[in-house]
Amino acid sequence: MTGLTEILESIYSVVKTMKPVDFVDIALLSYIIYFFLNLIKETRAGQLFKGIAFLLLVYIIGKFIELKSITYILTRIFDIGILAILIMFQPEVRRAIEKLGHSRLGLTAFLAPSSREAAVQKWEKAIDAICSACAEFSHDCTGAIIAIERQTRLGEHIEGGVEINAEPSKELLGAIFFHNAPLHDGAVIMRDGIVLAAECFFPMPQKEAFINKKLGSRHRAAIGMSENSDAIVIVVSEETGQISVAENGSLQRDFSQETLKQLLTDMLIPKQQEQKKFFPLFRQPQERNETDETKDKQDS
């Protein structure tokens, strides 16, 4: 009981000295922790985090009932805990820090109504062109990969490609990805509703060993780009014609022209009332049921 008494006394001594600003501090820290947990809950890092939480629980219990060997070993482990977390959760930490800069309080919140309307019209036209082209690619089993840039700039990948700088259309995208066309092997990058470059090449996933072995290079490149940026990457399989979308390091599959249009509209054209909200600061990707493990047809 000595351990419990010490804990209660410590809590009381902290609470009685707290000031109003301390409650603000706690609220902000709680929100950051909530955001981080929400970020990793659908990733493999979420399982690792559960393991760390279990070790912490064991440490608390060991401290309470005075298990000296267990608490000593766990104390030594936690001494290097921060470094271990940074190494294990590097992709998630990077995305979390990037998302801090992609706040709803960013530049889009301060755009004049006329500027916002012009941007919306531009993206509506681009979305129609992308979805029409992808539907045709899917029907003809034409391989394609299209990255839609958002807050994170993709300049280093654009530099290695061929500059296009043209308004999107089904015909333009069809000409780029036509089989044996000079630019068909790489990816298209779009910015602000414009086809900015073609024949761009993306990094492979950081955790490639965990990805379905039957997925081909286009899908792996799409996942890799979505791990390294907040881009939305659309992939059409050359083998099955299946349309997939990679975002935030995960691959969503089996889109139709209509569901793809709905997803891109939700991602790229925020509703007017959403822009007035302060919390949540970060928009979470919409979830779709993953059916990879139950499909016999795999992409390449």
Domain identity same for 151 and 279: yes
For residues 208 and 167, is the Cβ–Cβ distance under 8 A? Answer: no
Identify the pLDDT of residue 6. 73
Shared domain for 269 and 194, answered yes or no, is: yes
Same domain, 166 and 265: yes
Are residues 144 and 235 in contact, defined by beta-carbon separation less than 8 angstroms?
Answer: yes
Considering the domain architecture, whether residues 149 and 276 belong to the same structural domain is answered as yes
CA-to-CA separations, 137 to 140, 166, 168, 209, 268, in angstroms, rounded: 5, 20, 15, 29, 22
Residues 117 and 86 in one domain: no
Kindly state whether residues 50 and 147 are assigned to the same domain: no
Query: Does one domain contain both 218 and 238?
Result: yes
Residue 106 lies in a domain: no
298 occurs within a structural domain: no
**Domain residues for 212?**
112-288
Residues 232 and 129 both lie in one domain: yes
Asked, for residue 219, whether it belongs to a domain, the answer is yes
Q: Which of 100, 132, 160 is the last residue of a domain?
A: 100
Q: Find the distance separating the first CA and the last CA of the chain, reported in whole Å.
A: 61
Predicted pLDDT at 138: 93
Phi, psi for 278 (deg, rounded to 5): -90, -40
Q: What is the pLDDT of residue 71?
A: 83
CATH number at residue 189: 3.40.1700.10
Please report whether residue 297 resides in a domain: no
Asked if the structure places residue 267 within a domain, the reply is: yes
What does DSSP say about strands 187-191 and 243-247: parallel, antiparallel, or unpaired?
A: unpaired
The Cα diameter of the chain in Å comes to 76
| pLDDT tens across the length of the chain (300 residues) | 566 677 777 777 777 787 888 888 888 888 877 777 766 654 555 666 777 788 888 888 888 887 888 888 888 877 777 677 677 666 666 666 665 555 444 444 444 555 567 667 788 889 999 999 999 999 999 999 999 988 878 877 887 789 899 999 999 999 999 988 888 888 999 988 899 999 998 877 766 655 666 778 888 888 888 887 888 999 999 888 999 999 888 889 999 999 999 999 988 886 654 444 433 433 444 444 443 443 444 444
Check residue 150 and give its pLDDT: 85
The pTM (predicted TM-score) of the whole model is 0.58
Q: Considering 65, 100, 135, which residue would you say is the last residue of a domain?
A: 100
- On whether residue 39 sits in a domain, the answer given is yes
- The pLDDT of residue 123 is 87
Together in a domain, 77 and 124: no
Count: domains in the chain = 2
Residues 188 and 277 in one domain: yes
Q: Examine residue 299 and state whether it is found in any structural domain, yes or no.
A: no
Question: Are 131 and 271 within one domain?
Answer: yes
Residue 62 lies in a domain: yes
CA-nearest of 112, 108, 121 to 277 is: 108
Is there a contact between 228 and 195 (Cβ–Cβ < 8 Å)?
no
Written as one letter, the residue type at 136 is E
Where is the domain boundary, 46, 79, 100? Answer: 100
In a shared domain, residues 78 and 142: no
